[in-house]
Amino acid sequence: MGSPHGSTPRGPAPLRSDGRGMWALRAAVRPGVCLSRVVRGRGALRVAPRLPPWPERTLTAFGPGDLGDLQGRGGGGRGPRADGRRRRAGTEEDEEPEGAEQEEEDVEELLRREPLLPAGTQRVCLVHPEVKWGPAKPLQTRAEWQVAEAKALVHTLDSWSVVETVVVPTKTPDKKLIFSKGALEHLTEKIRGLAEITAVFLNVERMSAPTKKELEAAWGVQVFDRFTVVLHIFRCNARTREARLQVALAELPVLRANLKNDVGRLDGRGGGSRYIMGSGESFMQVQQRLLKEKEMKIRKALERLRRKRRLLGTQRRRRELPVVSVVGYTNSGKTTLIKALTGDAAIQPRDQLFATLDVTAHAGSLPSRMTVIYLDTIGFLSQLPHSLIESFSATLEDVAHSDVILHVRDASHPESELQSASVLSALRGLRLPAPLLDGVLEVHNKADLLPGYRPPGPRALAVSALRGLGLQELRAELEAAVLRATDRRALTLRVPLAGAQLSWLHREATVQDVHVVPEAGVADVTVIISNAAYGKFRKLFPE
């Protein structure tokens, strides 16, 4: 993406989840953002966003960041479609295969299905198993921050609230028996006594189906794990078609587990293994087949979208606008920083987890007036199952194809180091090209909350996106990084007005500014030029 003038080609980066259960998500360019014109040179880009109603709060996402997508297509949800269908004549897009229309309708129908969790008010008792000792102890995180993050997840959902929090020591949060017998009895007594609660949020990554069944029977209310709650948030916040499909894919393991539970219940009444009349299939087999078919449909629809995105990526590369992916832990200030760097008044950062689920692209200019595209991405969160990451993995491809990665850290957060380690570990899991990973720029945001703050290490910059502090330095650093990554330089060259240099530069480079000095018969020309072209220029026009 955006690798002007012969930068190193980068292959697609196969994705894998990292070992820490970190994840990230990218969806599609926000619907309703219009890009009027994209060309090289100055003043080329104008973004006129029309915001859809945003959810109250976001974690992070990566958009395809495709300028084609900015052209009012953006994708699914409430916006115009980004569904892989042929839209414009004269592009490289393939014709839709026969029957695609019907398939699209089937998928739409499938996406209309009921959410996993019931709509409406939930008064939640948050149960946090605190690992006190043993190998499962998280390396750095303290219980209160895990609890705070879990509460923030719950409060992200409309009309959900945490009415009670219980921290229970455990040695084995990932096993079927999460609690010791005594602890479970004590907990059950407590939960049974909380008449006002409607559900329990057990703050473990993933609960097995038998554990869920057992706890629900003991406590008399539904029990959700972190995976289910995050999935529900995604489902509520997903706007684009791609995000919705990815949520549907991520839901499948839960549906399969629920099916086993349901059939188990039926079996208890002697019904689960009965054959459906005449079909030769048991109830369980029919349901499994339907889920398999659903999975195939979703995967096919996603593949169509991704093919489309790859094509658009090729088109964008031709337009030669460099791309900066802005990544970071949720709530670190990514969206606020992009707003500050681009002056895009329509961007609305929210103090809420997973507010940014759909990736959006925003144009901004750097000191030499070079236009860059900032991709706002979905945030990272620790302790989420790999299957969730895998479902969303394709949406991270754009980060692998960007020119520079800007890692935004919340320097004021007590767990800033841990968050940073999680993000870097997730980025490593994306198997990004080495130069991209090595060149990650780090900004320590929210410096306004830490008077006199100096970031440790030479490569980090302290900024306040909210107060506009440190942005000049950041823009200069970004420009240097973009030029490095795209193998170009920004120069001001003095050329004779009578010579062929000026027209050569207009042809072979991006002329940003021409300042004529008539009395000397020369012009000072500011250009962004590839190193190769500059070599040619010097050969043709020696100093």
Ligand X SMILES: Nc1nc2c(ncn2[C@@H]2O[C@H](COP(=O)(O)OP(=O)(O)OP(=O)(O)O)[C@@H](O)[C@H]2O)c(=O)[nH]1
Contacting residues toward ligand X, per CB under 6 A: 58-60, 328, 330-336, 349-351, 353-356, 379, 445-446, 448-449, 464-466
Closest CB to ligand X among residues 368, 464: 464
Query: What are the φ and ψ backbone dihedral angles of 50, each rounded to 5 degrees?
Result: -120, 110
Work out how close the CB of 382 gets to Mg ion at its nearest, in angstroms, rounded to a whole number: 17
Work out how close the CB of 202 gets to ligand X at its nearest, in angstroms, rounded to a whole number: 23
Is 156 a binding residue for Mg ion by CB under 5 A? The answer is no
Work out how close the CB of 59 gets to ligand X at its nearest, in angstroms, rounded to a whole number: 5
**H-helix or E-strand spanning residue 239:** none
Work out how close the CB of 54 gets to ligand X at its nearest, in angstroms, rounded to a whole number: 10
Going by C-beta distance under 8 Å and a sequence separation of 6 or more, which residues neighbour residue 169? 129, 130, 131, 132, 183
Residue 126 interacts with, from Mg ion, ligand X, none (CB under 5-8 Å by kind): none
Closest CB to ligand X among residues 180, 412: 412
Question: CA torsion sign, 519 to 525 to 531 to 535?
Answer: negative
Residue 350 interacts with, from ligand X, Mg ion, none (CB under 5-8 Å by kind): ligand X
Work out how close the CB of 354 gets to Mg ion at its nearest, in angstroms, rounded to a whole number: 9
Site for Mg ion in 84-103 (CB under 5 A): none
CA distances from 199 to 160, 184, 202 (A): 10, 16, 10
Work out how close the CB of 225 gets to Mg ion at its nearest, in angstroms, rounded to a whole number: 25
Distance CA 484, CA 369 (A): 16
Pick from 489, 495, 504, 503: which is nearest to 524 by CA?
Answer: 495
Q: Tell me the DSSP string of 113-130.
A: SPPSS-SS-EEEEEEEEE
Is 335 a binding residue for Mg ion by CB under 5 A? The answer is yes
Is 445 a binding residue for Mg ion by CB under 5 A? The answer is no
> Do 356 and 347 touch, CB atoms closer than 8 A?
no
Work out how close the CB of 355 gets to ligand X at its nearest, in angstroms, rounded to a whole number: 4
Work out how close the CB of 457 gets to ligand X at its nearest, in angstroms, rounded to a whole number: 19
Would you state the structure tokens that stand for residue 240, as one six-digit string?
């684009």
HSE-CB for 139 with a 13 A CA cutoff: 9
**H-helix or E-strand spanning residue 2:** none
Is 356 a binding residue for Mg ion by CB under 5 A? The answer is yes
Give the total of residues touching Mg ion (CB under 5 A): 4
Edge-to-edge strand list for the sheet holding 522-530:
488-496, 522-530, 510-517
Query: What are the φ and ψ backbone dihedral angles of 312, each rounded to 5 degrees?
Result: -65, -35
Pick from 232, 9, 388: which is nearest to 396 by CA?
Answer: 388
Residue 353 interacts with, from ligand X, Mg ion, none (CB under 5-8 Å by kind): ligand X
Would you state the structure tokens that stand for residue 132, as one six-digit string?
């006190």
Work out how close the CB of 450 gets to ligand X at its nearest, in angstroms, rounded to a whole number: 10
Angle formed at CA 339 by CA 55 and CA 375, multiple of 5 degrees: 80
Q: Which residues of 444-476 are buried (b: 16+ CB within 10 A; e: fewer)?
A: bbbbbeeeeeebeeeebbbbbbbeebbbeebbe
Closest CB to ligand X among residues 334, 362: 334
Would you state the structure tokens that stand for residue 20, as one six-digit string?
């820490």
Distance CA 36, CA 272 (A): 58
Residue 321 interacts with, from ligand X, Mg ion, none (CB under 5-8 Å by kind): none
Closest CB to Mg ion among residues 3, 237: 237
Would you state the structure tokens that stand for residue 237, as one six-digit string?
């916040």
> Do 193 and 221 touch, CB atoms closer than 8 A?
no
Residue 449 interacts with, from ligand X, Mg ion, none (CB under 5-8 Å by kind): ligand X
Q: Considering only the stretches 42-50, 56-64, 265-273, 472-480, report the one whose residues sit in contact with Mg ion under the rule CB under 5 A.
A: 56-64
Closest CB to ligand X among residues 253, 328: 328
Residue 330 interacts with, from ligand X, Mg ion, none (CB under 5-8 Å by kind): ligand X
Closest CB to ligand X among residues 242, 508: 242
Site for Mg ion in 421-440 (CB under 5 A): none
Name which position in 3, 7, 17, 58 contacts Mg ion (CB under 5 A).
58
Q: Considering only the stretches 55-63, 237-245, 479-487, 508-516, report the one whose residues sit in contact with Mg ion under the rule CB under 5 A.
A: 55-63
Work out how close the CB of 59 gets to Mg ion at its nearest, in angstroms, rounded to a whole number: 8
Query: What are the φ and ψ backbone dihedral angles of 19, each rounded to 5 degrees?
Result: -75, -5
The residue at minimum Cβ distance from ligand X is 379
Is 377 a binding residue for Mg ion by CB under 5 A? The answer is no
Write out the residues near Mg ion by the rule CB under 5 A: 58, 334-335, 356
